[in-house]
């Protein structure tokens, strides 16, 4: 029986990454070495713990290469799975961006139309402004994800998404005074 | 429902304060973000949340507390620095953050990037050992160390580690200085016997009163309220001390009316021992100490300027 | 303050806590109500394929914290709720397994083997009764072991382990978890390494946040909620959605079976089941007490042992395991239910979580503050009350209350949960995703938290594609900070002894065991291949 060489590749990549972390990332990006001397006392520096973490990675990678190269239970990763995963993540990213910027954008448009000088930051705890981002972005997220799985876009999905996002907003926002729906903590 | 109720209370509160004529000429233009540089659930965090709660009730302001912890308060300072300075973003840390920590980190921040609002309380910083050790005084411990005993000295910040080191140096002994996360961890270590002695910033009060712990020395320039006979840092030959306060700050350049209203309102709550926040401050930190305005600006600037001397002394 | 005083205080803390309402003048504490709500939620969530206890815990946690605030008073209601969910989800998982041949939770898979055949024979309600009886028995047994063992173990640890030994013990737990979880020790160790690496970014003792690449976004490190929820929940959601997409959703309604004959459990039948329940409860409890080995293995082992016994002792007209034997359900359910209580032994006595439910209990304790699971909890102080110990006994009380609920109303509620299987998964999963992201945001209140969570979710997805178990990652993330801290302290306390790990027989033993366990499991794997 022909084995997949998935474990071999994974082990090799892990090993390479661990070496990169130990010899490049950690030395360049920590303030103190493995151990250091302060106040006439030798103490553990900030580089030691990540080095040990990377050693775990290296040991894991080495074990994959040495012991489990020919294991039976190696997963076969299809490019389909990877692409679908990417599509899922991309949908979420897009929706979160909408969530983050649609509120401030609405205010700017409002300002343009009315000549006002409202600031989203100061209105982020005031209805209806505070709901704009969450409702738009959330509805978009659920609609996109459901449509991806179903392989088609339906008006019904949009409706279900909007209703469930509204319920969610109500659960988190109405009863609690000091909970901020996304993105209202940032702006 | 709850929301409308709160709004109604807030509205009433607002009219009341307006008629009384307190510093109500300034109101925050929006909700105030309160960044807390301490872990959730501890005394410092509770203090911040209780003060916010009291101000919401009393002034009708709206607070949104959040945790920004880590790096001795520097993470909070770094985040706060970039916030708008109209009074809608403030933070709670300790003066050590803006003094020693900022100087030691050398991360391009200084107290000038911030507007000091008010301190709320100081620390009753003691050097504490379990009574089971049989040490009645600081000298007993030094004698034990000179007798060849390894002494594990628990501290909760780099500044205190420096002080512990200098203390050992002045007394001619070498401590094994162990830095742990927070005063509670020092106390746990000392009671469990993992540590022999350690700095505690007030949480030792109950244990000392019960006779389980002993204040061997004061970490301050002044004697401790609870154990006035214990020597101070200066008595023990160290020119530095751990005097410090909890302090509310905002970003640099906060307008005077906002600064004044915020600091006076916070100080009023801290000083009011009948309020929940004031009660906690009395119980946990031995009472309020409110330094504000130019005094505070000066205090923060001099802490920062003097930190270099301690850093130098400790690296010798 | 004697031990009994503490136990009594713990019980009082549950029953006399903040009062929610009163019935006939009797005050009902909010903790009691939260345990009940958690328990019912748990059953419903467990009975819904695609959801599991951890998801409900993840979503509920920020809401609960906002209700109860960051005070020690919040600990018992919030953790009581989580305990309720944990116990409810275990019995809930059996419902779709028995009725529809689809396990609601992974550890209920073995239940389908005999449960569904019983349904096909018209004995669905009886099968549910068997599941409930065995599950509740296993649970009770496990709780008793927890309450006896946890304080004792903690006292031992506190008395005999110094900084170096504590460090060695953490290393042992991490190696054990890495080597044992999932099918591949190599991948377990890899997952552990990733978790450690993630928690070390942005943290450390220096003022410069290490490995943050100069970025302000990384300088506070990754909040624990983003990594835990990202890898455990968001990763799982992505993976399940991919599976759904592959299946293109099988259409059609599940076949209907009508119940025939007596559905009650007779005394004689219970007596027949008891030996199976007993063995499985022992197996589940023993496995649960070891960090990292989950209820799925317990269920498998319990089932296998039960099958061997059944084959030896059964009379001719009784169905075999796999053909609708009620003993099969009993063996499985008793085993997977007895894991949950015992799993809290390492959590409470050492601060080391062993499974996802325990991870959330630790997350709750960390977020609320005022309770740090670990040996220092069990300090029986004489003069001053140790509030953490009161909370610990309060948690024990909560477990018994949830247990009592399990025996009384659990069965009834469980048998009404068959409808949950109709919920369309492909709509449910995106909703869960948004709920999780929202839950993370309301706790962290910055958009970076969502990006981090999403990144960890993608990592969790890739790990699942590569058959790398995410649990070692999560546990390493939780323990990593502790590991570094205790190593630093051990090093400083011993006056800079580089060989502090080898300074006492106990810590040498721990280190030897951790190396041994990795070598042994790696060798075994090679042998198997």
pLDDT band at B283 (very low <50, low <70, confident <90, very high): confident
User: Taking CB atoms and an 8 Å cut-off, how many pairs form between chains A and C?
Assistant: 237
Mean predicted confidence (pLDDT) in C39-60: 89
Cα→Cα distances A136→A87, A100, A142, C264, Å: 19, 10, 10, 52
Mean predicted confidence (pLDDT) in C199-209: 90
Residue B122 pLDDT exceeds 50: yes
Mean predicted confidence (pLDDT) in C5-28: 82
Nearest to C182 by CA among A66, A52, A68: A68
pLDDT tens figures, A149-180: 988 899 999 999 999 999 999 988 888 777 88
pLDDT band at C250 (very low <50, low <70, confident <90, very high): low
- The number of domains in chain C is 1
**pLDDT for the residue C253:** 53
Cα→Cα distances C130→C260, C269, C274, C305, Å: 16, 9, 11, 18
Using a CB–CB cutoff of 8 Å, tell me whether A118 touches chain C.
Answer: no
Name the least confident of B207-216, C352-361, C424-433. Answer: C352-361
Q: What is the mean pLDDT of chain C?
A: 88
Contact A60 C480 (CB under 8 A): no
C-proximal residues of A, 121-180, CB under 8 Å: 134, 138, 141-142, 145-146, 148-151, 157, 160-161, 164-165, 168, 171-172, 175-176, 178-180
Mean predicted confidence (pLDDT) in C88-108: 85
Q: How many CB atoms lie within 10 A of CB B149?
A: 12
Torsion angle of the four alpha carbons B177, B181, B187, B192, in this order, in degrees rounded to the nearest 10: -80
pLDDT tens figures, B241-272: 999 999 999 999 999 999 999 999 999 999 99
Tracing tokens 């002993």 back to the chain, one arrives at B214
Contacts of A31 in chain C (CB under 8 A): 204, 206-208, 210
Please say whether the beta carbons of B113 and B85 come within 8 A.
no
d(CA A67, CA C186): 8
d(CA C254, CA C231): 32
Residue C508 pLDDT exceeds 90: yes
Nearest to C169 by CA among C521, C506, C518: C506
Please say whether the beta carbons of B242 and B235 come within 8 A.
no
d(CA B39, CA B68): 8
Contact A122 B88 (CB under 8 A): yes
Distance of CA C255 to the CA centre of its chain: 33
Mean predicted confidence (pLDDT) in C375-403: 89
| DSSP tally for chain A: helices H, then strands E | 7, 2
Contacts of B177 in chain A (CB under 8 A): 39, 41
Mean predicted confidence (pLDDT) in B289-312: 93
pTM of the complete model: 0.89
A99 conformational bin, left if phi > 0, alpha if psi -120 to 50, beta if neither: alpha
Residue B16 pLDDT exceeds 80: no
Q: Which residues of B70-92 are buried (b: 16+ CB within 10 A; e: fewer)?
A: bbbbbbbbbbbbebbbbbbbbbb
Least Cα separation, residue B3 to chain A (angstroms) = 6
Please say whether the beta carbons of C444 and C164 come within 8 A.
no
**pLDDT for the residue C372:** 86
Please say whether the beta carbons of B102 and B292 come within 8 A.
no
* Candidates A26, A59, A95, A99, partner chain C, best to mutate (most C CBs within 10 A): A59
Mean predicted confidence (pLDDT) in B80-104: 94
In a domain? residue C257? no
Domain span including residue C237: 3-248+265-415+425-528
SS3 A153: coil
Tracing tokens 């089971």 back to the chain, one arrives at B132
Please say whether the beta carbons of C154 and C375 come within 8 A.
yes
Rg (CA), chain B: 21
Structure tokens at C22: 């009163």
Name which residue leads in pLDDT, C2 or B100.
Answer: B100
Least Cα separation, residue A124 to chain C (angstroms) = 12
Tracing tokens 């448009």 back to the chain, one arrives at A109
Mean predicted confidence (pLDDT) in B100-121: 93
CATH of domain B126-218: 3.40.190.10
In A, minimum Cα distance to C477 occurs at A53
Using CB atoms, pick whichever of B42, B71, B178 lies closest to residue C493: B178
Using a CB–CB cutoff of 8 Å, tell me whether B131 touches chain C.
Answer: no
- Residue-by-residue DSSP string for B204-246: THHHHHHTSEEEEEESSSS--SS-TTS--TTTTT-S-----EE
Using CB atoms, pick whichever of C162, C369, C494 lies closest to residue B42: C369
Residue B99 pLDDT exceeds 50: yes
pLDDT band at C528 (very low <50, low <70, confident <90, very high): low
The domains spanning B2-123+244-314 and B126-218 adopt the same CATH topology = yes
C-proximal residues of A, 44-73, CB under 8 Å: 44-50, 52-61, 63-64, 67-68, 70-73
Contacts of A48 in chain C (CB under 8 A): 484, 487
d(CA B292, CA B301): 13
Structure tokens at C184: 């591949």
CA angle C87, B41, C40 (to 5 degrees): 20
Name which residue leads in pLDDT, B2 or C147.
Answer: C147
**pLDDT for the residue B24:** 54
Q: Where are the domains of chain B?
A: 2-123+244-314, 126-218
Least Cα separation, residue B266 to chain C (angstroms) = 20
Please say whether the beta carbons of C184 and A71 come within 8 A.
yes
Percentage above 90 pLDDT, chain A: 60
pLDDT tens figures, C104-145: 777 788 898 999 999 999 899 999 999 999 999 999 999 999
Contacts of A174 in chain B (CB under 8 A): 3
Mean predicted confidence (pLDDT) in C272-290: 92
d(CA A124, CA C160): 54
**pLDDT for the residue B147:** 93
Residue B30 pLDDT exceeds 60: yes
Nearest to A132 by CA among A107, A103, A152: A103
pLDDT band at C340 (very low <50, low <70, confident <90, very high): confident
pLDDT tens figures, C491-506: 999 888 888 899 899 9
> What is the β-pairing status of strands B152-155 and B176-179?
parallel
In a domain? residue C420? no
Tracing tokens 């003022």 back to the chain, one arrives at C207
Structure tokens at B124: 């009753």
* Homologous superfamily assigned to B2-123+244-314: Bordetella uptake gene, domain 1 (3.40.190.150)
At CB < 8 Å, which residues of chain C contact B?
69-72, 158, 162-163, 202-203, 205, 207-209, 216, 219-221, 367-370, 375-376, 379, 381, 383-384, 444-445, 485, 488-489, 492-495
Residue C239 pLDDT exceeds 80: yes
Taking the alpha carbons at both ends of chain B, their separation in whole angstroms is 63
d(CA C413, CA C401): 16
d(CA B236, CA A36): 28
Contacts of A70 in chain C (CB under 8 A): 529
**pLDDT for the residue C207:** 87
* Candidates C173, C196, C216, C438, partner chain A, best to mutate (most A CBs within 10 A): C438
In a domain? residue C253? no
Which stretches of B60-137 are DSSP H helices? 74-81, 95-96, 102-105
Least Cα separation, residue A115 to chain C (angstroms) = 30
Name which residue leads in pLDDT, B128 or C268.
Answer: B128
> What is the β-pairing status of strands B32-36 and B63-67?
parallel
Report cis status (omega within 30 of 0) of the bond before A128: yes
Output the CA torsion sign for B311, B286, B52, C435.
Answer: positive
Using CB atoms, pick whichever of C189, C431, C445 lies closest to residue A59: C189
d(CA C12, CA B313): 53
Report cis status (omega within 30 of 0) of the bond before B40: no
Least Cα separation, residue B251 to chain A (angstroms) = 16
> What is the β-pairing status of strands C26-29 and B152-155?
unpaired
Using CB atoms, pick whichever of B30, B63, B65 lies closest to residue A122: B30
Report cis status (omega within 30 of 0) of the bond before C261: no
In a domain? residue C79? yes
**pLDDT for the residue C38:** 96
**pLDDT for the residue A2:** 52
Q: What is the mean pLDDT of chain A?
A: 90
Mean predicted confidence (pLDDT) in A110-121: 87
Least Cα separation, residue A126 to chain B (angstroms) = 9
Structure tokens at C522: 């790696």
pLDDT tens figures, C433-486: 999 999 999 888 889 999 999 999 999 999 999 999 888 999 899 899 989 999
Contact C219 B195 (CB under 8 A): no
Mean predicted confidence (pLDDT) in A48-77: 90
pLDDT tens figures, B229-247: 999 999 999 999 999 999 9
In a domain? residue C430? yes
Cα→Cα distances A96→A131, B111, C451, Å: 14, 36, 9
d(CA B23, CA C57): 45
d(CA B180, CA B152): 12
Using CB atoms, pick whichever of C69, C367, C384 lies closest to residue B210: C384
Distance of CA C227 to the CA centre of its chain: 17
Q: Neighbouring chains of B at 3+ CB pairs within 8 Å?
A: A, C
Name the least confident of A61-75, C318-332, C433-447. Answer: A61-75
Please say whether the beta carbons of C92 and C47 come within 8 A.
yes
């Amino acid at each position: 029986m022909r084995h997949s060489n998935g474990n071999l590749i994974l082990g090799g990549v892990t090993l390479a990454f661990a070496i990169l972390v130990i010899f490049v990332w950690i030395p360049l990006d920590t303030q103190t070495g493995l151990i250091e001397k302060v106040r006439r006392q030798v103490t553990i520096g900030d580089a030691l713990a990540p080095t040990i973490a990377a050693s775990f990675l290296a040991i894991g990678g080495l074990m994959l290469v040495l012991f489990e190269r020919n294991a039976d239970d190696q997963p076969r990763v299809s490019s389909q799975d990877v692409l679908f995963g990417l599509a899922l993540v991309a949908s979420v990213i897009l929706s979160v961006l909408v969530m983050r910027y649609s509120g401030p954008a609405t205010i700017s448009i409002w300002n343009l139309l009315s000549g006002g000088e409202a600031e989203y930051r100061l209105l982020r705890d005031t209805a209806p402004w505070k709901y704009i981002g969450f409702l738009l972005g959330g509805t978009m997220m659920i609609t996109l994800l459901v449509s991806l799985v179903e392989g088609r876009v339906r008006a019904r999905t949009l409706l279900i998404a909007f209703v469930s996002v509204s319920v969610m907003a109500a659960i988190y926002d109405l009863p609690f005074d000091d909970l901020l729906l996304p993105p209202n903590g940032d702006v | 429902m709850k929301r409308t109720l709160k709004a109604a209370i807030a509205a009433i509160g607002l009219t009341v304060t307006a008629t009384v004529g307190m510093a109500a000429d300034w109101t925050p233009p929006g909700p105030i973000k309160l960044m807390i540089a301490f872990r959730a659930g501890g005394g410092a965090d509770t203090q911040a949340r209780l003060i916010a709660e009291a101000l919401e009730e009393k002034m009708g302001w709206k607070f949104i507390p959040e945790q920004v912890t880590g790096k001795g308060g520097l993470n909070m300072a770094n985040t706060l620095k970039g916030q708008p300075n109209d009074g809608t973003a403030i933070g709670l840390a300790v003066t050590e953050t803006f003094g020693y920590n900022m100087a030691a980190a050398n991360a391009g921040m200084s107290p000038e990037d911030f507007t000091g609002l008010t301190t709320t309380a100081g620390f009753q910083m003691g050097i504490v050992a379990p009574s089971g050790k049989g040490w009645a005084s600081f000298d007993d411990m030094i004698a034990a160390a000179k007798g060849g005993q390894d002494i594990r000295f628990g501290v909760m910040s780099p500044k205190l580690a420096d002080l512990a080191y200098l203390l050992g140096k002045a007394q001619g002994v070498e401590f094994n200085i162990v830095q742990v996360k927070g005063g509670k961890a020092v106390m746990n270590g000392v009671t469990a016997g993992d540590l022999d002695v350690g700095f505690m910033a007030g949480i030792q009060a109950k244990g000392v009163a019960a006779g389980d712990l002993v204040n061997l020395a004061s970490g301050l320039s002044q004697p401790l309220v609870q154990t006035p006979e214990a020597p101070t840092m200066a008595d023990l030959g160290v020119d530095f001390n751990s005097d410090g306060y909890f302090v509310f700050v905002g970003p640099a350049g906060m307008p005077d009316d906002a600064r004044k209203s915020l600091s006076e309102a916070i100080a009023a709550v801290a000083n009011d021992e009948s309020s929940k926040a004031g009660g906690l401050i009395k119980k946990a930190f031995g009472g309020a100490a409110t330094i504000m305005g130019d005094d505070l600006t000066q205090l923060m600037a001099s802490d920062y300027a003097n930190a270099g001397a301690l850093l130098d002394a400790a690296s010798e | 303050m004697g031990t009994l005083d503490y136990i009594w205080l713990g019980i009082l803390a549950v029953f006399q806590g903040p009062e929610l309402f009163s019935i006939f003048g009797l005050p009902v504490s909010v903790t009691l109500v939260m345990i009940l709500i958690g328990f019912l939620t748990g059953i419903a969530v467990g009975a819904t394929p695609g959801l599991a206890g951890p998801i409900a815990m993840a979503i509920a946690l920020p809401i609960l914290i906002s209700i109860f605030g960051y005070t020690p008073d919040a600990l018992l209601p919030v953790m009581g709720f989580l305990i309720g969910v944990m116990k409810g989800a275990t019995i809930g998982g059996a419902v779709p397994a028995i009725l529809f041949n689809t396990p609601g939770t992974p550890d209920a898979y073995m239940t389908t083997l005999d449960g569904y055949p019983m349904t096909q024979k018209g004995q669905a309600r009886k099968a549910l009764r068997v599941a409930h009886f065995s599950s509740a028995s296993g649970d009770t047994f496990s709780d008793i072991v927890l309450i006896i063992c946890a304080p004792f173990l903690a006292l031992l640890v506190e008395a005999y382990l110094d900084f170096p030994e504590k460090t060695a013990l953490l290393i042992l737990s991490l190696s054990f978890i890495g080597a044992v979880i999932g099918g591949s020790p190599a991948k377990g160790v890899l997952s552990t390494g990733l978790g450690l690496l993630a928690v070390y970014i942005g943290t450390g003792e220096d003022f410069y946040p290490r490995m943050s690449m100069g970025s302000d976004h990384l300088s506070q490190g990754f909040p624990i909620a983003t990594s835990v929820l990202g890898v455990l929940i968001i990763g799982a959601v992505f993976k399940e959605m991919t599976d759904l997409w592959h299946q293109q959703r099988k259409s059609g309604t599940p076949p209907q079976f009508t119940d025939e004959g007596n559905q009650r459990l007779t005394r004689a039948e219970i007596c027949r089941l008891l030996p199976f329940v007993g063995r499985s409860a022992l197996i589940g409890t023993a496995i649960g007490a070891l960090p990292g080995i989950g209820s799925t293995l317990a269920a498998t082992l319990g089932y296998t042992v039960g099958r061997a016994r059944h084959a030896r002792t059964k009379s001719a007209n009784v169905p075999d395991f796999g053909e609708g034997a009620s003993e099969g359900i009993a063996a499985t359910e008793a085993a997977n239910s007895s894991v949950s209580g015992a799993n809290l032994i390492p959590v409470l006595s050492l601060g080391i979580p062993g499974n996802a439910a325990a991870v959330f209990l630790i997350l709750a304790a960390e977020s609320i503050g005022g309770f740090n699971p670990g040996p220092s909890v069990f300090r029986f102080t004489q003069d001053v009350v140790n509030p953490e110990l009161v909370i610990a006994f309060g948690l024990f009380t909560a477990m018994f209350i949830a247990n009592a609920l399990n025996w009384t109303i659990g069965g009834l509620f469980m048998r009404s949960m068959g409808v949950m299987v109709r919920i369309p998964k492909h709509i449910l999963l995106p909703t869960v995703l948004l709920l999780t992201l929202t839950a993370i945001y309301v706790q962290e209140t910055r958009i970076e938290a969502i990006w981090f969570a999403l990144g960890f979710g993608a990592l969790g997805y890739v790990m699942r594609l590569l058959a790398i178990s995410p649990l070692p990652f999560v546990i390493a993330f939780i323990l990593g900070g502790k590991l570094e801290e205790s190593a630093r302290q051990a090093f400083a306390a011993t006056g800079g002894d580089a060989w502090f790990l080898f300074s006492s027989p106990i810590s040498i033993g721990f280190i030897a065991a951790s190396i041994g366990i990795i070598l042994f499991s790696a060798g075994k794997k090679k042998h198997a291949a």
